[in-house]
Amino acid sequence: MAIEVFNRYEHKYILNQQQYDEMIKVMNEHMNPDPYNKGGKPYTITNIYYDTQDDHLIRASLSKPIYKEKLRLRAYGVPKDGQKVFLEIKKKYNGIVNKRRTTLKLDEAYKFVGSGEKPQIESYMNKQVINEISYFLKVYDLKPKLYLAYDRIAYFEKGNDDLRISFDQNIRSRREDVQLEIGDHGNLLLEEGQYLMEIKTSLAMPLWLTHTLARLNLKRQSFSKYGAEFKNTVNQGA
């Protein structure tokens, strides 16, 4: 069964092509590739982000509060009707990210978020997370606001399941046709040759990793895919 509850720190970095190439060399020395990266090729993650009509959740998030939360629907690749996807609540408090998710079929997820009515509980669902999302939907009147997808290469440290490092490229989004099954297309968020690296761990980073970050002059920065897209949208409309 897939892990459905995560508690960890997330450190983010924007890499250029040279930094990315160097990091991949280091990854191959110290870490194991994600099984989904077959043949060293990235796999695609597709998402729908939900928000209120006036974008309350993302506006609040960008104000950098001590606590923030969001709801998204996630799939691997472009799902078909009836295929299983993940509905996730992601919360961040004082730097620690808590992600809770449940498996649903695509049509069940759409109906749940659209109506607020909990689905009939099946064996593949997480009942506690269903209840949490149900409460979330009572607090906020949510609508599908953004489609966002990217291609990911990920690694796990050898002998340490806690440490995960991912590299996202070709981050694309759209605000029309916000449905997962329609197809994978959108406007690029980062410049060509840029990569988003995320280091996810609940523990301290190993020395080999901190030394590599220093050698490549990589500085941690605050970056949200949804937040960056929203700021671009606002600026374009100004």
Q: Please tell me what DSSP assigns to residue 141.
A: -
Q: Please tell me what DSSP assigns to residue 8.
A: E
Which of 9, 3, 11, 34 has its CA nearest to residue 201? 9
Phi, psi for 110 (deg, rounded to 5): -60, -45
- The whole-number pLDDT of residue 1 equals 39
Strands (E), the chain: 5-15, 31-33, 43-51, 67-76, 84-93, 96-105, 143-157, 160-174, 187-188, 195-201
Ranges of the chain with pLDDT below 50:
1, 238
Q: Compute the distance between CA of residue 177 and CA of residue 183 in angstroms, rounded to an integer.
A: 9
Identify the sign of the CA torsion 184, 190, 192, 193: negative
Q: Give the right CATH number for 5-237 from 3.50.50.100, 3.40.50.970, 3.40.1160.10, 3.20.100.30.
A: 3.20.100.30
pLDDT, tens only, 129-185: 999 999 999 999 999 999 999 999 999 987 777 899 999 999 999 999 999 999 999
Q: Compute the distance between CA of residue 140 and CA of residue 57 in angstroms, rounded to an integer.
A: 9
Rounded to whole angstroms, what are the CA distances from 33 to 65, 92, 141, 213? 34, 27, 39, 19
Which of 200, 172, 176 has its CA nearest to residue 186? 172
Give the pTM. Answer: 0.93
Tokens representing 45 are 């993650």
* Residue 192 burial by Cβ neighbours in a 10 Å radius (0-12, 13-18, 19+): exposed
- The whole-number pLDDT of residue 86 equals 98
Q: Domain map of the chain by residue range?
A: 5-237
Report yes or no: 181 and 80 within 8 Å, Cβ to Cβ: yes
How does DSSP assign 25-76, residue by residue? HHHHHHEEEPTTSGGG--EEEEEEEEE-TT-HHHHHHHT--SEEEEEEEEEE
- The whole-number pLDDT of residue 200 equals 94
- The whole-number pLDDT of residue 5 equals 62
- The whole-number pLDDT of residue 238 equals 46
Report yes or no: 35 and 152 within 8 Å, Cβ to Cβ: no
